[in-house]
Structure 1
Amino acid sequence: MNIFRLAADMTHLLSIVVLLLKIHTIKSCAGISLKTQELYALVFATRYLDLFTVFLSLYNTVMKLIFLGSSFSIVWYMRNHKVVRQTYDKDHDTFRHYFLVIPCFFLALLVNYKLTVREVLWAFSVYLEAVAILPQLVLLQRTRNVDNLTGNYVFLLGAYRGLYLVNWVYRYLMEEHYLRWISWIAGIVQTALYLDFFYYYLKSWRNSEKLQLPA
């Protein structure tokens, strides 16, 4: 594993820690899209079907368990915790996320590395992860004022994907025959969705101002 892959994984893990800190400590999910969290839970559930059948390393297995466990835990808290669920902004979190799931599934049937159940679902998880942040970004666009923990969470998610792009460039240069077009294109699309948010996040950080997104 190279340093860029490790940095990306740790950034992803840190984003989850920030979100769990908000939910468990502050008992609030204000500004967090349940639709996005449900999409991430679906992403990990369809990607890690080999969790108990293929062993690559202890690190790989532990990270899979963390991402699966944390994603479903977040969804459960936002739906069922009597305090946390009261802070959920369902009036603004109205993005119809099945409009993302259905096209991604059909795309996975058409574009995959191998037409098997596991490979199709893996491709589906990659395509869905690329757009899973959209309900979250739309929610922030509607509410405009973004608290620090939510802003940090979204920024870290975007940074994780950006670091994975660097990891792929590094592997392409250092490893022979390393081609992963599905991951590369989906990763570029996913990173591009964050660019507008990055601009306003870094602008507010530089000016020591509260993060506000344009209407």
Structure 2
Amino acid sequence: MIHKREEMKGPKRPIQSVSTWVRRQPPKIKAFLALVSGMAALVFLRMVVHDHDNLFVSSEGVHALGISVLIYKLTKEKTCAGISLKSQELTAMFLAVRLYCSFVMEFDIHTLLDSAALATTLWVIYMIRFQLKSSYMDDKDNFAIYYVVIPCAVLSLVIHPTTNHHIVNRILWALCVYLEAVSVLPQLWVMQNIKIVEPFTAHYVFALGVARFLNCAHWVLQVLDTRGRLLTALGYGLWPSMVLLSEIVQTLILADFCYYYVKSIFGGQLVLRLPPGVV
């Protein structure tokens, strides 16, 4: 009888078999597999992408694509269900600080990109707070952001760039780096609370994950290409290591979600169902 049921179900797809095997592994094995996968991806990018600055451009492009998906959801579906207002506010916070630092410290193309990103984020916040307030899941968006803002502020006072800029600007520069690393946590918290994530929100968060990975890969490969000289160019002390660590933390925070997203896509599911403990 069991054999007949298995025959009726048919053979598992390779991706499903691998997913089932990975899911059954203990946490330490999963962490090791994630590390190996990340290193393999970095090796692949280093071989394929000759100018590693293109990784940063690609990161900005993927991020813009994710924001476009979010804008489509808000304007066409007229709902902000599943979107974290607190995450958007943290994003606006670090973008505003980074934009200020960019103006006073190193005005370049990144300043223009940050200006566009900040304007878009403020528009999203306006839509959630006023135009689509009735669909906002206030009870699910209950992540206490002071748990991340206060530690980031304290850390920026202790560990910041050692350049020749004014001390206030250097502290603010560090603050925006640390805030960016944790800005997506409220969004992941909302999705964990509701368990089922509709497609457009899932696409948006996955785009953030890909963008963060590409940005992290850009930093890591730049460090390898310059044989560590890039870190010394950022200053001395703990600050260079903290910049690199922040990039890695951003990637790791979203790695688990991206795994379930890819698994869901290959499984042909239109909505993403998160198991307990993803966040």
TM-score tier (shorter)? over 0.9
Q: Distance in 2 between matches of 1:40 and 1:56?
A: 20
Relative CO higher for 1 or 2, CA cutoff 8 Å, sep ≥ 6? 1
Q: Tell me the alpha carbon deviations over residues 116-138 of structure 1, each in whole angstroms, 9 at most, x when there is no partner.
A: 11111111111111111111111
Q: Which segment drifts farther, 68-77 or 153-162?
A: 68-77
- The residue type equivalent to 1:211 in the other structure is L
| 1:213 and 2:274 correspond | yes
Q: Are residue 178 (structure 1) and residue 230 (structure 2) matched?
A: yes
Is 1:63 the counterpart of 2:97? The answer is no
1:73 equivalent to 2:134? Answer: no
Aligned residue type for 2:230:
Y
- 1:110 and 2:158 aligned: yes
SS at match of 2:197: coil
1:196 lines up with 2:256 in the alignment? yes
SS state at 1:181 partner: helix
Aligned to 2:135: 87
Judge conservation of contact 2:82–2:136 (CA < 8 Å) in 1.
yes
1:127 to 178, 184, 190: 178
Amino acid aligned to 2:147: F
Q: Distance in 1 between matches of 2:252 and 2:103?
A: 34
Pick the structure with greater CA Rg: 2
Structure 1 residues 11-160: aligned runs within 5 Å? 11-53=62-104, 56-57=107-108, 59-81=109-131, 84-114=132-162, 116-160=167-211
Partner deviation per Cα, 1:153-197 (whole Å, 9 max, x = no partner): 000101111001111122123336101422210111111111221
2:48 corresponds to: none
CA-atom RMSD in angstroms: 1.7
- The one-letter code matched in structure 1 to 2:118 is L
For residue 62 of structure 1, report the CA deviation from its aligned partner. 2.3
* Structure 1 contact 123–182 (Cα < 8 Å) conserved: no
TM-score relative to the length of structure 1: 0.92
CA drift of 1:92 comes to 0.7
Distance 1:185 1:54, change over 3 A: closer
Q: What is the one-letter code of the residue matched to 2:249?
A: V
C-alpha contact (below 8 Å) 2:62/2:210 kept by paired residues: yes
Deviation at 1:55, TM superposition (A): 5.9
> How many pairs are equivalent?
212
Shift of 1:51: 4.8
SS of alignment partner, residue 48 of structure 1: helix
Percent same amino acid among aligned pairs? 36
How far is the alpha carbon of 1:60 from its aligned partner? 2.4
Post-superposition CA distance 1:62-82 (Å, at most 9, x none): 20211110111111111111x
* Contact map agreement 2:95 2:176 (CA 8 A) in 1: yes
Distance 2:155 2:107 in 1: 28
Matches of 1:96 and 1:106, distance apart in 2: 17
Distance 2:53 2:130 in 1: 40
Q: Is this contact kept in 2: 1:18–1:153, CA < 8 A?
A: yes
User: What is the DSSP-based 3-state SS (H/G/I as helix, E as strand, rest coil) of the residue aligned with 1:35?
Assistant: helix
| Contact 1:130–1:187, Cα closer than 8 Å, also in 2 | yes
